[in-house]
Structure 1
Protein backbone atom coordinates (compact mmCIF):
# COMPACT_ATOMS: atom_id res chain seq x y z
CA UNK A 1 0.00 0.00 0.00
CA UNK A 2 1.31 3.39 -0.96
CA UNK A 3 1.78 5.73 1.98
CA UNK A 4 0.40 9.22 1.72
CA UNK A 5 2.25 12.23 3.04
CA UNK A 6 0.94 13.49 6.35
CA UNK A 7 -0.59 16.92 6.04
CA UNK A 8 0.45 19.55 8.54
CA UNK A 9 0.52 23.26 9.13
CA UNK A 10 3.80 24.97 9.95
CA UNK A 11 3.48 27.77 12.46
CA UNK A 12 6.30 30.12 13.42
CA UNK A 13 6.50 31.64 16.89
CA UNK A 14 9.02 34.07 18.36
CA UNK A 15 10.81 33.09 21.56
CA UNK A 16 13.34 34.70 23.84
CA UNK A 17 16.56 32.75 24.28
CA UNK A 18 20.05 33.28 25.61
CA UNK A 19 23.01 33.80 23.30
CA UNK A 20 26.69 33.65 24.22
CA UNK A 21 29.52 35.98 23.30
CA UNK A 22 33.21 35.69 24.15
CA UNK A 23 35.24 38.83 24.92
CA UNK A 24 38.99 39.08 25.46
CA UNK A 25 38.82 42.31 27.47
CA UNK A 26 36.11 44.79 28.42
CA UNK A 27 36.37 48.27 26.96
CA UNK A 28 38.56 50.53 29.09
CA UNK A 29 40.17 53.96 28.80
CA UNK A 30 43.01 52.58 26.64
CA UNK A 31 40.71 50.77 24.18
CA UNK A 32 40.91 52.15 20.64
CA UNK A 33 39.23 49.38 18.65
CA UNK A 34 36.21 47.17 19.22
CA UNK A 35 36.04 44.07 17.04
CA UNK A 36 33.10 41.86 16.20
CA UNK A 37 34.60 38.60 14.94
CA UNK A 38 32.25 35.93 13.54
CA UNK A 39 33.44 32.32 13.48
CA UNK A 40 33.09 29.84 10.65
CA UNK A 41 30.76 26.86 10.29
CA UNK A 42 31.30 24.21 12.95
CA UNK A 43 33.43 26.44 15.15
CA UNK A 44 32.75 28.29 18.40
CA UNK A 45 33.13 31.83 19.66
CA UNK A 46 35.98 30.83 21.95
CA UNK A 47 37.88 29.19 19.11
CA UNK A 48 38.05 32.30 16.93
CA UNK A 49 38.82 34.44 19.97
CA UNK A 50 41.92 32.29 20.56
CA UNK A 51 43.29 33.61 17.27
CA UNK A 52 43.61 37.02 18.95
CA UNK A 53 45.75 35.84 21.89
CA UNK A 54 48.76 37.75 20.57
CA UNK A 55 46.80 41.02 20.17
CA UNK A 56 47.04 43.74 22.83
CA UNK A 57 43.69 43.40 24.61
CA UNK A 58 44.07 46.79 26.26
CA UNK A 59 43.85 48.38 22.80
CA UNK A 60 41.72 45.82 20.96
CA UNK A 61 38.52 44.63 22.64
CA UNK A 62 37.44 41.58 20.64
CA UNK A 63 33.85 40.36 20.81
CA UNK A 64 33.12 36.91 19.37
CA UNK A 65 29.42 36.05 19.20
CA UNK A 66 28.63 32.36 18.93
CA UNK A 67 26.15 31.14 16.33
CA UNK A 68 22.71 30.23 17.66
CA UNK A 69 22.57 26.76 16.07
CA UNK A 70 24.59 24.32 18.20
CA UNK A 71 25.47 20.69 17.49
CA UNK A 72 28.11 18.01 18.02
CA UNK A 73 30.78 17.95 15.32
CA UNK A 74 31.04 14.47 13.80
CA UNK A 75 28.38 12.88 16.01
CA UNK A 76 27.30 12.91 19.64
CA UNK A 77 30.82 12.12 20.87
CA UNK A 78 32.33 15.00 18.92
CA UNK A 79 33.24 18.48 20.17
CA UNK A 80 30.67 21.23 20.47
CA UNK A 81 30.18 23.29 17.33
CA UNK A 82 28.01 26.15 16.13
CA UNK A 83 26.54 27.41 12.88
CA UNK A 84 25.05 30.71 11.83
CA UNK A 85 22.42 29.21 9.56
CA UNK A 86 21.43 26.30 7.34
CA UNK A 87 19.15 26.11 4.32
CA UNK A 88 16.19 25.00 6.47
CA UNK A 89 13.94 27.95 7.32
CA UNK A 90 16.88 30.09 6.24
CA UNK A 91 15.03 33.42 6.13
CA UNK A 92 14.00 33.00 9.75
CA UNK A 93 17.56 32.12 10.72
CA UNK A 94 18.87 35.19 8.87
CA UNK A 95 16.40 37.38 10.77
CA UNK A 96 17.43 35.75 14.04
CA UNK A 97 21.16 36.25 13.64
CA UNK A 98 20.69 39.80 12.35
CA UNK A 99 18.61 40.66 15.42
CA UNK A 100 21.24 38.94 17.57
CA UNK A 101 24.10 40.94 16.05
CA UNK A 102 22.06 44.13 16.38
CA UNK A 103 21.81 43.44 20.10
CA UNK A 104 25.55 42.71 20.35
CA UNK A 105 26.34 45.98 18.61
CA UNK A 106 23.85 48.05 20.59
CA UNK A 107 25.00 46.70 23.95
CA UNK A 108 28.73 46.24 23.42
CA UNK A 109 29.76 48.74 20.73
CA UNK A 110 27.39 51.70 20.53
CA UNK A 111 28.09 52.92 24.11
CA UNK A 112 31.71 53.62 23.08
CA UNK A 113 31.59 56.09 20.16
CA UNK A 114 35.27 57.03 20.49
CA UNK A 115 36.35 53.49 19.52
CA UNK A 116 36.72 52.38 15.93
CA UNK A 117 34.65 49.35 14.93
CA UNK A 118 36.30 46.45 13.10
CA UNK A 119 34.22 43.62 11.63
CA UNK A 120 35.91 40.34 10.78
CA UNK A 121 34.21 37.23 9.50
CA UNK A 122 35.89 33.90 8.87
CA UNK A 123 34.32 31.61 6.24
CA UNK A 124 30.58 31.37 7.01
CA UNK A 125 31.07 34.21 9.48
CA UNK A 126 32.01 36.58 6.63
CA UNK A 127 28.80 35.79 4.75
CA UNK A 128 26.90 36.31 7.99
CA UNK A 129 28.41 39.75 8.55
CA UNK A 130 27.73 40.82 4.95
CA UNK A 131 24.07 39.94 5.42
CA UNK A 132 23.94 41.74 8.75
CA UNK A 133 25.56 44.93 7.45
CA UNK A 134 23.23 44.89 4.44
CA UNK A 135 20.18 44.66 6.67
CA UNK A 136 21.12 46.70 9.73
CA UNK A 137 23.41 49.41 8.30
CA UNK A 138 25.16 49.70 11.68
CA UNK A 139 28.26 51.90 11.19
CA UNK A 140 31.74 50.37 11.15
CA UNK A 141 35.26 51.45 10.23
CA UNK A 142 36.80 48.37 8.60
CA UNK A 143 35.61 44.98 7.32
CA UNK A 144 37.82 41.91 6.95
CA UNK A 145 36.52 39.01 4.88
CA UNK A 146 38.74 36.10 5.92
CA UNK A 147 38.28 33.17 3.53
CA UNK A 148 34.58 33.91 3.12
CA UNK A 149 32.12 34.25 0.27
CA UNK A 150 29.54 36.86 -0.68
CA UNK A 151 25.82 36.17 -0.22
CA UNK A 152 24.48 35.69 -3.72
CA UNK A 153 20.94 36.73 -2.82
CA UNK A 154 21.73 40.31 -1.80
CA UNK A 155 22.68 43.22 -4.02
CA UNK A 156 26.33 43.93 -3.28
CA UNK A 157 25.96 47.30 -5.00
CA UNK A 158 23.97 48.37 -1.95
CA UNK A 159 27.06 47.72 0.16
CA UNK A 160 29.56 49.51 -2.05
CA UNK A 161 29.17 52.96 -0.40
CA UNK A 162 29.49 51.39 3.06
CA UNK A 163 32.66 49.49 2.16
CA UNK A 164 34.51 52.24 0.31
CA UNK A 165 38.22 51.93 1.24
CA UNK A 166 37.26 49.92 4.33
CA UNK A 167 37.25 46.40 2.95
CA UNK A 168 39.90 43.66 2.88
CA UNK A 169 39.98 40.08 1.58
CA UNK A 170 42.29 37.51 3.18
CA UNK A 171 42.80 33.85 2.34
CA UNK A 172 45.41 31.11 2.40
CA UNK A 173 47.15 30.15 -0.82
CA UNK A 174 46.28 26.49 -0.16
CA UNK A 175 42.65 27.04 0.82
CA UNK A 176 40.74 24.12 -0.75
CA UNK A 177 37.49 26.11 -0.81
CA UNK A 178 38.89 29.12 -2.66
CA UNK A 179 39.92 27.51 -5.91
CA UNK A 180 41.19 29.53 -8.86
CA UNK A 181 37.75 29.26 -10.47
CA UNK A 182 35.98 30.48 -7.36
CA UNK A 183 38.48 33.30 -6.84
CA UNK A 184 37.80 34.51 -10.39
CA UNK A 185 34.06 34.39 -9.69
CA UNK A 186 34.62 36.39 -6.51
CA UNK A 187 36.60 39.04 -8.39
CA UNK A 188 33.86 39.29 -11.01
CA UNK A 189 31.26 39.65 -8.25
CA UNK A 190 33.27 42.50 -6.74
CA UNK A 191 33.81 44.18 -10.10
CA UNK A 192 30.08 44.21 -10.81
CA UNK A 193 29.50 45.78 -7.40
CA UNK A 194 32.15 48.44 -8.13
CA UNK A 195 34.21 47.18 -5.21
CA UNK A 196 37.97 46.73 -5.43
CA UNK A 197 39.29 45.77 -1.99
CA UNK A 198 42.95 44.89 -1.44
CA UNK A 199 43.74 41.18 -1.13
CA UNK A 200 46.15 39.62 1.36
CA UNK A 201 47.30 36.01 1.15
CA UNK A 202 49.38 33.79 3.40
CA UNK A 203 50.95 30.33 3.31
CA UNK A 204 48.18 28.18 4.69
CA UNK A 205 44.80 26.58 4.21
CA UNK A 206 41.26 27.41 5.38
CA UNK A 207 42.24 28.98 8.68
CA UNK A 208 42.86 32.21 10.56
CA UNK A 209 46.62 32.57 10.64
CA UNK A 210 47.77 34.43 13.76
CA UNK A 211 50.92 35.83 12.18
CA UNK A 212 48.97 37.15 9.20
CA UNK A 213 46.33 38.60 11.49
CA UNK A 214 49.00 40.56 13.37
CA UNK A 215 50.43 41.84 10.07
CA UNK A 216 47.00 42.98 8.96
CA UNK A 217 46.37 44.80 12.21
CA UNK A 218 49.71 46.60 11.91
CA UNK A 219 49.07 47.51 8.26
CA UNK A 220 45.37 48.32 8.01
CA UNK A 221 43.94 49.00 11.46
CA UNK A 222 44.73 52.61 12.25
Structure 2
Protein backbone atom coordinates (compact mmCIF):
# COMPACT_ATOMS: atom_id res chain seq x y z
CA UNK A 1 0.00 0.00 0.00
CA UNK A 2 1.46 3.32 -1.09
CA UNK A 3 0.93 6.19 1.34
CA UNK A 4 2.14 9.78 1.82
CA UNK A 5 3.66 11.47 4.84
CA UNK A 6 3.66 15.21 5.47
CA UNK A 7 6.78 16.52 7.20
CA UNK A 8 8.83 19.69 7.49
CA UNK A 9 11.08 20.17 4.46
CA UNK A 10 13.99 22.50 3.72
CA UNK A 11 14.12 24.29 0.36
CA UNK A 12 16.71 26.67 -1.07
CA UNK A 13 16.55 30.08 -2.75
CA UNK A 14 18.84 32.99 -3.57
CA UNK A 15 18.46 36.74 -2.98
CA UNK A 16 20.08 39.59 -4.88
CA UNK A 17 20.59 41.39 -1.53
CA UNK A 18 19.34 41.34 2.02
CA UNK A 19 16.07 43.28 1.81
CA UNK A 20 15.52 46.61 3.54
CA UNK A 21 11.75 46.31 2.94
CA UNK A 22 11.81 49.69 1.30
CA UNK A 23 12.22 48.29 -2.22
CA UNK A 24 9.68 49.38 -4.81
CA UNK A 25 9.83 46.16 -6.84
CA UNK A 26 10.17 42.49 -5.97
CA UNK A 27 11.01 40.14 -8.82
CA UNK A 28 10.38 36.42 -8.41
CA UNK A 29 12.53 34.65 -11.03
CA UNK A 30 12.15 30.92 -11.69
CA UNK A 31 14.97 28.97 -13.32
CA UNK A 32 14.68 26.33 -16.02
CA UNK A 33 15.25 22.59 -16.00
CA UNK A 34 18.66 21.53 -14.71
CA UNK A 35 19.66 24.92 -13.31
CA UNK A 36 20.40 26.12 -9.77
CA UNK A 37 19.00 29.29 -8.22
CA UNK A 38 22.29 30.90 -7.19
CA UNK A 39 23.66 30.68 -10.74
CA UNK A 40 20.39 31.70 -12.40
CA UNK A 41 20.28 34.78 -10.19
CA UNK A 42 23.59 35.98 -11.63
CA UNK A 43 21.73 36.99 -14.79
CA UNK A 44 19.73 39.48 -12.73
CA UNK A 45 22.37 40.62 -10.25
CA UNK A 46 23.56 43.57 -12.42
CA UNK A 47 20.07 45.06 -12.08
CA UNK A 48 19.92 44.74 -8.31
CA UNK A 49 19.41 48.06 -6.52
CA UNK A 50 18.06 49.58 -3.34
CA UNK A 51 14.67 49.76 -5.05
CA UNK A 52 14.66 46.33 -6.71
CA UNK A 53 14.96 42.92 -5.05
CA UNK A 54 15.30 39.65 -6.96
CA UNK A 55 14.24 36.38 -5.35
CA UNK A 56 15.22 33.13 -7.08
CA UNK A 57 13.62 29.99 -5.62
CA UNK A 58 15.12 26.62 -6.44
CA UNK A 59 13.21 23.57 -7.61
CA UNK A 60 13.21 20.85 -4.98
CA UNK A 61 13.93 17.95 -7.35
CA UNK A 62 17.60 17.29 -8.16
CA UNK A 63 19.47 15.13 -10.63
CA UNK A 64 22.93 14.66 -12.10
CA UNK A 65 23.06 16.42 -15.46
CA UNK A 66 25.26 13.75 -17.03
CA UNK A 67 25.35 10.16 -15.88
CA UNK A 68 25.77 9.38 -12.19
CA UNK A 69 28.19 12.07 -11.03
CA UNK A 70 29.37 15.60 -11.73
CA UNK A 71 27.19 18.68 -12.06
CA UNK A 72 23.80 18.68 -10.39
CA UNK A 73 20.75 20.64 -11.51
CA UNK A 74 17.30 21.25 -10.08
CA UNK A 75 13.93 20.90 -11.73
CA UNK A 76 10.38 21.80 -10.77
CA UNK A 77 8.85 18.43 -11.58
CA UNK A 78 8.97 15.26 -13.65
CA UNK A 79 6.18 12.97 -14.76
CA UNK A 80 6.66 10.88 -11.61
CA UNK A 81 4.37 12.12 -8.80
CA UNK A 82 3.75 15.25 -10.86
CA UNK A 83 0.70 16.46 -8.92
CA UNK A 84 2.56 16.15 -5.62
CA UNK A 85 5.45 18.20 -7.04
CA UNK A 86 3.03 20.90 -8.24
CA UNK A 87 1.41 21.11 -4.80
CA UNK A 88 4.83 21.31 -3.15
CA UNK A 89 5.89 24.06 -5.56
CA UNK A 90 2.83 26.10 -4.61
CA UNK A 91 3.54 25.73 -0.91
CA UNK A 92 7.18 26.72 -1.45
CA UNK A 93 6.40 29.81 -3.53
CA UNK A 94 3.50 30.90 -1.31
CA UNK A 95 5.70 30.60 1.77
CA UNK A 96 8.61 32.42 0.17
CA UNK A 97 6.51 35.37 -0.94
CA UNK A 98 4.75 35.54 2.42
CA UNK A 99 8.11 35.57 4.22
CA UNK A 100 9.33 38.65 2.37
CA UNK A 101 6.20 40.60 1.47
CA UNK A 102 5.02 40.50 5.08
CA UNK A 103 7.98 42.70 5.99
CA UNK A 104 6.81 45.63 3.84
CA UNK A 105 4.75 48.42 5.33
CA UNK A 106 3.77 49.39 1.77
CA UNK A 107 3.61 46.51 -0.67
CA UNK A 108 6.01 46.70 -3.62
CA UNK A 109 5.15 45.87 -7.22
CA UNK A 110 5.53 42.14 -7.78
CA UNK A 111 6.92 40.94 -11.11
CA UNK A 112 7.39 37.31 -12.06
CA UNK A 113 9.76 35.87 -14.66
CA UNK A 114 9.80 32.21 -15.56
CA UNK A 115 12.44 30.71 -17.84
CA UNK A 116 11.77 27.49 -19.79
CA UNK A 117 10.26 24.94 -17.36
CA UNK A 118 10.08 27.75 -14.82
CA UNK A 119 7.58 29.59 -17.05
CA UNK A 120 4.91 26.90 -16.74
CA UNK A 121 5.59 26.63 -13.01
CA UNK A 122 5.30 30.41 -12.67
CA UNK A 123 1.95 30.60 -14.47
CA UNK A 124 0.50 27.62 -12.64
CA UNK A 125 1.43 29.13 -9.28
CA UNK A 126 0.67 32.77 -10.10
CA UNK A 127 -2.83 31.94 -11.33
CA UNK A 128 -3.80 30.76 -7.85
CA UNK A 129 -1.64 33.04 -5.66
CA UNK A 130 -3.56 35.43 -3.44
CA UNK A 131 -1.31 38.40 -4.26
CA UNK A 132 -1.25 40.78 -7.23
CA UNK A 133 1.25 40.53 -10.08
CA UNK A 134 1.80 43.58 -12.28
CA UNK A 135 4.00 41.86 -14.87
CA UNK A 136 4.48 38.25 -15.97
CA UNK A 137 7.42 37.45 -18.25
CA UNK A 138 7.50 34.04 -19.92
CA UNK A 139 10.96 33.46 -21.37
CA UNK A 140 11.51 30.46 -23.67
CA UNK A 141 8.41 28.91 -22.16
CA UNK A 142 4.71 29.49 -21.73
CA UNK A 143 1.51 28.98 -19.78
CA UNK A 144 0.94 25.63 -18.16
CA UNK A 145 -1.64 23.63 -20.12
CA UNK A 146 -3.31 22.43 -16.93
CA UNK A 147 -3.76 25.91 -15.47
CA UNK A 148 -7.26 26.55 -14.13
CA UNK A 149 -8.55 28.98 -16.73
CA UNK A 150 -11.27 30.63 -14.63
CA UNK A 151 -8.78 31.47 -11.89
CA UNK A 152 -6.12 32.56 -14.38
CA UNK A 153 -8.51 34.77 -16.37
CA UNK A 154 -9.41 36.70 -13.23
CA UNK A 155 -5.89 36.74 -11.75
CA UNK A 156 -4.16 37.98 -14.92
CA UNK A 157 -6.86 40.48 -15.83
CA UNK A 158 -4.63 43.46 -15.05
CA UNK A 159 -1.26 41.76 -15.47
CA UNK A 160 1.03 42.82 -18.31
CA UNK A 161 2.32 39.73 -20.10
CA UNK A 162 5.56 39.48 -22.06
CA UNK A 163 6.55 36.46 -24.09
CA UNK A 164 10.25 36.26 -24.98
CA UNK A 165 12.07 33.78 -27.18
CA UNK A 166 15.26 33.39 -29.17
CA UNK A 167 15.08 33.05 -32.94
CA UNK A 168 17.32 29.97 -32.73
CA UNK A 169 15.67 28.25 -29.75
CA UNK A 170 15.43 24.57 -30.64
CA UNK A 171 12.85 23.96 -27.92
CA UNK A 172 10.32 26.53 -29.17
CA UNK A 173 8.36 24.95 -32.03
CA UNK A 174 5.63 26.38 -34.25
CA UNK A 175 3.22 24.02 -32.53
CA UNK A 176 4.20 25.36 -29.10
CA UNK A 177 3.77 28.96 -30.28
CA UNK A 178 0.30 28.16 -31.64
CA UNK A 179 -0.66 26.51 -28.35
CA UNK A 180 0.34 29.63 -26.45
CA UNK A 181 -1.64 31.86 -28.80
CA UNK A 182 -4.70 29.70 -28.17
CA UNK A 183 -4.11 29.93 -24.42
CA UNK A 184 -3.92 33.74 -24.60
CA UNK A 185 -7.20 33.75 -26.52
CA UNK A 186 -8.87 31.62 -23.84
CA UNK A 187 -7.56 33.99 -21.18
CA UNK A 188 -8.80 37.03 -23.10
CA UNK A 189 -5.28 38.46 -23.02
CA UNK A 190 -2.73 39.81 -25.44
CA UNK A 191 1.00 39.58 -24.86
CA UNK A 192 3.90 41.73 -25.92
CA UNK A 193 6.19 39.46 -27.94
CA UNK A 194 9.94 40.06 -27.89
CA UNK A 195 12.73 38.14 -29.59
CA UNK A 196 16.50 38.12 -29.74
CA UNK A 197 19.17 36.47 -31.82
CA UNK A 198 20.11 33.32 -29.94
CA UNK A 199 19.01 30.03 -28.48
CA UNK A 200 17.55 28.65 -25.27
CA UNK A 201 19.06 31.15 -22.83
CA UNK A 202 18.56 34.46 -21.07
CA UNK A 203 19.81 37.21 -23.36
CA UNK A 204 21.45 39.83 -21.12
CA UNK A 205 20.90 42.75 -23.49
CA UNK A 206 17.18 42.14 -23.92
CA UNK A 207 16.78 41.43 -20.20
CA UNK A 208 18.33 44.83 -19.46
CA UNK A 209 15.86 46.54 -21.79
CA UNK A 210 12.90 44.80 -20.19
CA UNK A 211 13.97 45.64 -16.65
CA UNK A 212 15.03 49.23 -17.44
CA UNK A 213 11.82 49.93 -19.34
CA UNK A 214 9.93 49.33 -16.13
CA UNK A 215 12.27 51.20 -13.81
**1:144 paired residue number:** 137
How many residues were matched structurally? 213
User: Are the aligned partners of 2:48 and 2:54 in contact in 1 as well (CA < 8 Å)?
Assistant: no
**2:200 paired residue number:** 206
The answer to whether residue 113 in structure 2 is matched with residue 124 in structure 1 is no
Unaligned runs of 5+ in 2: none
| TM score, norm. by length of structure 1 | 0.89
- In 2, the alpha carbon distance for the partners of 1:69 and 1:187 equals 30
- In 1, the alpha carbon distance for the partners of 2:193 and 2:8 equals 40
**2:4 paired residue number:** 12
**1:178 paired residue number:** 172
**1:5 paired residue number:** none
* Displacement after TM superposition at 1:86 (Å): 1.0
- In 2, the alpha carbon distance for the partners of 1:110 and 1:168 equals 27
Larger-Rg structure: 1
**2:74 paired residue number:** 82
Unaligned runs of 5+ in 1: 1-8
* Displacement after TM superposition at 1:87 (Å): 1.1
CA RMSD of aligned residues (A): 1.6
Greater CA drift, 173-182 or 23-32? 23-32
User: What per-residue deviation string (whole Å, max 9, x for no partner) do you get for residues 9-37 of structure 1?
Assistant: 10011111111110011222662211111
- In 2, the alpha carbon distance for the partners of 1:20 and 1:32 equals 24
